[in-house]
Amino acid sequence: MKNKVFVILSIGAVSYLAIVGAVLMLYQADPADLQWQERETYNARQIGQFDLGMSKDSVIRVLGSPDITEAKASSEGDMQVLFYRTHHVTSDGITTKDECTPLVFRDNKLIAWGNDSYRDYQNYQRRE
């Protein structure tokens, strides 16, 4: 009797672990499905793990569509800034740049992120 109970419990535990493992491996979180508070946390956490040189497509695959974008051509290459909401400022239902972290790309490669890098991007625009 004890062996039978042990076998049943073992099969149940292994089955449970297999199902949980499959869900964790196959489930892909879609940032678009998250509530705004969850998405801010998700975006900030993911951006903190990025490496310079990442492709724009890789960033979009991780974070989804940006909240705001800017782009321009320059003598150094095509520049683009993608803004992702990472912190709450005003409860007005509108996402603004001051609630976002800017990610700066040159020729579709991540070259910088954060407010200082965006200010550098803006100053660079004025010099050209």
Residue where the block lists tokens 């909240």: 67
The span from the CA of 7 to the CA of 60, in Å, is: 47
Confidence label for 37 from pLDDT (cuts 50, 70 and 90): confident
pLDDT above 70 coverage of the chain, percent: 91
Question: Over 70: is that where the pLDDT of 83 sits?
Answer: yes
What would the DSSP string read from start to end of 8-20?
Answer: HHHHHHHHHHHHH
> Is the pLDDT higher at 64 or at 21?
64
Q: For residue 84, name the pLDDT band (cuts at 50, 70, 90).
A: very high
More confident residue, 43 or 22: 43
Residue indicated by tokens 């801010």: 40
In the sheet with 100-106, reading across from the earlier edge strand, the strands are 68-74, 77-85, 100-106, 109-113
